[in-house]
Structure 1
Amino acid sequence: MYFAALLARTEDGWEASDTELDDVETLSDLADLAREASSEDDTVLVLIEQEDAWFGVVRIDGEEDPRIYVSDAAAAARSSYGEILLTDELLGRDPGGDDDVADLDSLDLDGTEDGEDEDGDDETEGGGSAEAVPHGPVGDTEILDDLGVAEKELKALSTDAVTEIAEALGASETLETVR
C-alpha cells in the first residue's frame, strides 16, 4: 500500500495535501505537481511511502531542480511510483544506457513485478536491471538537514518514515489530516 502527500512550507507553517500519483509519469510531472501546491517559491516536499519497503522524499525549492532521496533503491525499482524517482542521474548511469530499470508495463501497483518469485528474487528477465540498482539508500542524504532531519536520522528511518519526518518538521498534525 502506498501513501503520498505534499507538504508545502508557508508563512503560517506547513500545509499538507494528499496527492494522487496515477497521472504522474516522470520526475518533471511530479515537480510540476509540487510547484502547483505552493503559491510562492516556497519549499515543497513530496513524501512517498510503500509500507515496510521504502520511502522517498522529493524536495522542490522554487524553480530549482528537484532533490531526491530514496531509502532503498532496489525496493523502489520494483514499484511504479519508485520508478518516477529513480532517474539515471540519481543512479549514476548514462541516460539511455543499456541498464535501464525494468519496463513500467511489467510492474504491478503493489510494488511487485509480474511473475516475481515468492521468495522476493529481484532478478529480471535477461539478468539486467535489478543488478544495476543498488540495495539501500540513494540520493541527497542532506535533503532535510536545514529542516531538522540530519543525514544520520534520515538513514535510520524505517517503517513509518513519513510520519517521523512530519514530526521532525512540526507538521505531524497537518499530515494526519490527509492520511
Structure 2
Amino acid sequence: MSETELDNVETLADLADLAREAAQDDDTVLVFIEQEDSWFAVVRVDGEEDPRIFVSDAAAAARSSYGDVVLTEELVGRAGDSEFDDLDSLVTELEDSEEAELSADEDDEDEAPPSGPGGVPVGPLGDSELLAEFGVAASALLELSGEDAEPGDALSELAEALGCGEVLEAVR
C-alpha cells in the first residue's frame, strides 16, 4: 500500500493503469479514494481484467473532482444516455435536484430510493462483493457506507480488516 498522486488521472482507465504499474506481478491492487470525508471508493484491479468499483455515495461522488473517474457510464447505468454529455452538467442538475428535494414532502416511505438526475443514486453504488475474498462481506461494506458512517473512519476500518491499517494511517 502506498499513497499515489491522482493529479494526472482523468479516467478509470488511467487509474487502472496506475494501479497495474504499482502491482507486483499480476497481484490484486486495491485503490482507496476518499474525498473531503463525504464519500469513499474502493477500486479493485486484478491484472488486465476490468476494474471493479464500489462507491459509498454516488451522488456525493458525482459532485466531486474524482467522481468522473469512478462513476463510469456502465456503473451508473447511463450508457448511451445523451442527456448528460459531461459530469459538470450532472453536478449542476444534482445540486438543483437536492434543492428541490429539500422542499418536497418526504413523508411517503413507499417511494423509490432517492436518485439524482441521470439515475445517479444517493447512497452506495457498485460491486459490494469486491472485497469478499479478503474477508470483508458485502453487508459489512454496505454498513460502512451507511448514513451515519464517516468515510474516513470507514476506510480505516476496511484497512484494518485487510491487515493494512498502519500503512493507511502512515500515508494519510
Give the alignment's TM-score, normalised by structure 2. 0.78
Q: Distance in 1 between matches of 2:78 and 2:33?
A: 23
CA contact (8 A) 1:123 1:130 kept: no
Counterpart of 1:138, as a letter, is L
Write the distance in 2 (CA, Å) between the matches of 1:101 and 1:141: 26
Alignment of structure 1 residues 30-49 onto 2, 5 Å: 30-49=15-34
Q: Contact between 1:166 and 1:172, CA under 8 Å: does it hold in 2?
A: yes
Between the aligned partners of 1:66 and 1:81, the Cα distance in structure 2 is 16
1:97-138 Cα shifts (integer Å, max 9, x gaps): 2234532xx89xxxxx68x9xxxx7227xx9x9422111111
Q: Which protein has the bigger helix share? A: 2
Return the alpha-carbon distance in structure 1 between the equivalents of residues 24 and 136 of structure 2: 25
Match of residue 133 from structure 2: 146
User: Is residue 2:87 matched to residue 1:102?
Assistant: yes
Aligned: 1:58 with 2:51: no
Q: Does 1:176 align with 2:163?
A: no
User: Counterpart of 1:93?
Assistant: 78
Task: Judge which range, 53-62 or 152-161, deviates more.
Answer: 152-161
Higher strand share: 1
CA contact (8 A) 1:77 1:86 kept: yes
Q: Quick one: which amino acid aligns to residue 6 of structure 2? A: L
The structure 2 residue matched to 1:167, chosen from 140, 160, 167, is: 160
Is the CA contact 1:89–1:95 (under 8 Å) kept in the aligned structure 2? no
- Report % sequence identity: 62
Q: How does 1:66-145 map to 2 (within 5 A)?
A: 66-95=51-80, 97-100=82-85, 102-103=87-88, 122-123=95-96, 130-132=116-118, 133-145=120-132
CA RMSD of aligned residues (A): 2.4
In structure 2, runs of 5+ residues without a counterpart are 101-114
Cross-structure match for 2:3: 18
Show structure 1 runs of 4+ deviating over 2 A.
99-103
